[in-house]
Every structure is written in structure tokens, then in C-alpha cells.
């Protein structure tokens, strides 16, 4: 990967479908998410590579392992990693290990980094049905900290399950970013990314990221024109080295995100940090 030639690094994209057509979520949750985001496109990983290559960008790719809570088999982490390795000029593999898997999950995490070159891990507390500060997940965090790769946590409301009876069983409370504060305290060297503007807990996310030196925020899942003013203010100042471009593709395209970001009141010297430099440093690409 030639980082110097990249326009941007998108730290938040989803592998929604495997090579054999298996979806990352059950049909009802996929349908609810598509309706919420008004987006039904589900590209394969090679198609994602072509999409980002055409735009001169790189992308972090992951799926979500929530088998315990949903009963739905995940897309294989190995497939994600191998597909990204085949397109290493533009794709960066993250994995997702269900924290309910205990010691088996710890072994898997170590194997995925050691044998498959995985560069980080994605958690979705609401879909996985576990609060980030649940001690059952701590052995997995310990392993990820030792491996020296980031952990990315979904925060705030989610489109998954939106509009279904009972929200499809998805509990929003698990995605309060303040629940990640304990993780940042108990694993002080763990690099943590709080994904999305964390509605309705934006202030909490900013507080944690400002207070804890290894906590970052990605801006995925929302068009920048909807960012709350306080998020823009912190991105321009206190958190200018800790805010990351993320789109949430394919739910939101980087084309739409970047077009709206161009209109945002971001300082010229801060823009390249958000779009590429902060992510390149965090992911060890430079």
C-alpha cells in the first residue's frame, strides 16, 4: 500500500456478503438496516476493492460476529482477511470475534493476527448483546492489547433492527461510549476507536476521547452535514489528531460523505489529518 498516493483512508466499511452469498446478518436485520439507511447495495469484498481503488482510497474492512446473541452464522474472518490480502493495495483487514466465545475467542484473535495479518478488531455491543465493560470480554481485550492492534467499538444508535418490533432485540444501552471508558482505564495501552457520532451520547464520547490518550473517534455512519457543532469544534481543536474519516460503506458511500465534508467548517491543516494522516499513524501504515 502506497500511503503517500492515497487520497484518504476510510476506517469503517462493512463486508456485508461472503463470496458464496452468505449475509452478515439475518434477513430481517439486513432489511431493517437497508430501510434505515435507504441503501440496499451489498458489494463483495473484491467489488469493494475495485470501488476504493478507482477513488484512490484505502478502506478498513470488517464484519460483525454476533452468533451468540443473534444465532446467525458470521462471515468468516479468514475470508475477510484473505480477500483483503488479495487487494492489499487498498484494503486493510479487521476481524470480529464474539466476546461471548471466551478463551476460544482469545485463541482465534491471536491466530488471526499471527497467521492472517489482521490489523484490528470490530465490536458491536448492541448486536453482540454484551456491554463493553463486561468482564467476560476482558481476556479478549487483553489479547488485543498485547497484539498491539486497535479495537473499534460501535457507539450510539444503530440502524440494525430499527423499526422492527422491540428493535429486533437490539439494546441501545450497550453502545453508550461511557461504557468503553472502563476498558480504556483497565487496558491503558489498547488503542480504541469509538465509531460514529455517538447519538445520543456525543458529549460522553468526546469526554472519553479527550481524557484517555489512546481513544479515537471515527466519523462514520452520518453525513457530515448532520454532525453536531460540538463534534466539529472538537475535531478542529482538542481532537484534531484523534478523529478519523469513516463512511460506513455500503450504508453511506464515501462519495456522499466526502462531498458533505467539503462543506464543513474544518481548518485546512486539520482536513488531511482526519482524512488520512491520523488513520495511517494509528494503523501503523507510516
Angstrom CA distances, 242 to 47, 165, 170, 239, 266, stand at: 30, 37, 29, 5, 14
Residue 189 cell numbers, joined? 495501552
Average pLDDT rounded to a whole number, residues 138-167: 95
Structure confidence by residue, pLDDT tens digits, 172-218? 999 999 999 999 999 999 999 999 999 999 999 999 999 999 999 99
Q: How much is the pLDDT for 23? A: 76
* Domains of the chain: residue spans and CATH: 3-282 (3.20.20.140)
What distance in Å separates the CA atoms of residue 95 and residue 25, rounded to the nearest whole number?
A: 16
Which residue, 180, 129, 133, is CA-closest to 153?
A: 180
Average pLDDT of the chain to the nearest whole number = 95
pLDDT of residue 188: 98
Residues 162, 125: Cα–Cα separation, whole Å: 15
Half-sphere exposure of 272 (CA within 13 A, CB side): 8
d(CA 128, CA 210): 27
The interaxial angle of helices 102-116 and 77-85, nearest 10 deg, is 10
CA distance 116 to 122: 16
> How does pLDDT run across 31-86, given as a tens digit for each residue?
776 777 766 678 999 999 999 999 999 999 999 999 999 999 999 999 999 999 99
Residue 161 Ramachandran class (φ > 0 left, ψ -120 to 50 alpha, else beta): left
pLDDT tens profile 79-118: 999 999 999 999 999 999 999 999 999 999 999 999 999 9
Q: Give 205-257 pLDDT, tens digit per residue.
A: 999 999 999 999 999 999 999 999 999 999 999 999 999 999 999 999 999 99
pTM of structure? 0.95
Identify the pLDDT of residue 39: 64
State residue 31's pLDDT score: 74
Cα separation of 187 and 176, whole Å?
Answer: 18
Amino acid at each position: 500500500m502506497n500511503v503517500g498516493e492515497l487520497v484518504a483512508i476510510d476506517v469503517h466499511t462493512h463486508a456485508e456478503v461472503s463470496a458464496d452469498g452468505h449475509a452478515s446478518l439475518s434477513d430481517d436485520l439486513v432489511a431493517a438496516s437497508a430501510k434505515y439507511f435507504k441503501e440496499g447495495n451489498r458489494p463483495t469484498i473484491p467489488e469493494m476493492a475495485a470501488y476504493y481503488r478507482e477513488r484512490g482510497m484505502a478502506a478498513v474492512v470488517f464484519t460483525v460476529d454476533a452468533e451468540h446473541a443473534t444465532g446467525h452464522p458470521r462471515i468468516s474472518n479468514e475470508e475477510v482477511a484473505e480477500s483483503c490480502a488479495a487487494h492489499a493495495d487498498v484494503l486493510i483487514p479487521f476481524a470480529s470475534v464474539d466476546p461471548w466465545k471466551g478463551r476460544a475467542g482469545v485463541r482465534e484473535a491471536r491466530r488471526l493476527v499471527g497467521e492472517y495479518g489482521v490489523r484490528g478488531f470490530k465490536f458491536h455491543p448492541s448486536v453482540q448483546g454484551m456491554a463493553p465493560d463486561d468482564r467476560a470480554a476482558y481476556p479478549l481485550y487483553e489479547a488485543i492489547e498485547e497484539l498491539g492492534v486497535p479495537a473499534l467499538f460501535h457507539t450510539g444508535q444503530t440502524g440494525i433492527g430499527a423499526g422492527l418490533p422491540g428493535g429486533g432485540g437490539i439494546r441501545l444501552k450497550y453502545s453508550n461510549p461511557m461504557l468503553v471508558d472502563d476498558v480504556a482505564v483497565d487496558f491503558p495501552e489498547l488503542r480504541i476507536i469509538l465509531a460514529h457520532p455517538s447519538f445520543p451520547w456525543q458529549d460522553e464520547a468526546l469526554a472519553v476521547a479527550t481524557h484517555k490518550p489512546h481513544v479515537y473517534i471515527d466519523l462514520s455512519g452520518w453525513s457530515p452535514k448532520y454532525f453536531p457543532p460540538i463534534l466539529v469544534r472538537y475535531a478542529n481543536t482538542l481532537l484534531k489528531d484523534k478523529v478519523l474519516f469513516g463512511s460506513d460503506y455500503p450504508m453511506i458511500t464515501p462519495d456522499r460523505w466526502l462531498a458533505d465534508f467539503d462543506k464543513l467548517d474544518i481548518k485546512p491543516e486539520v482536513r488531511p489529518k482526519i482524512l488520512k494522516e491520523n488513520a495511517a499513524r494509528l494503523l501503523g501504515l507510516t
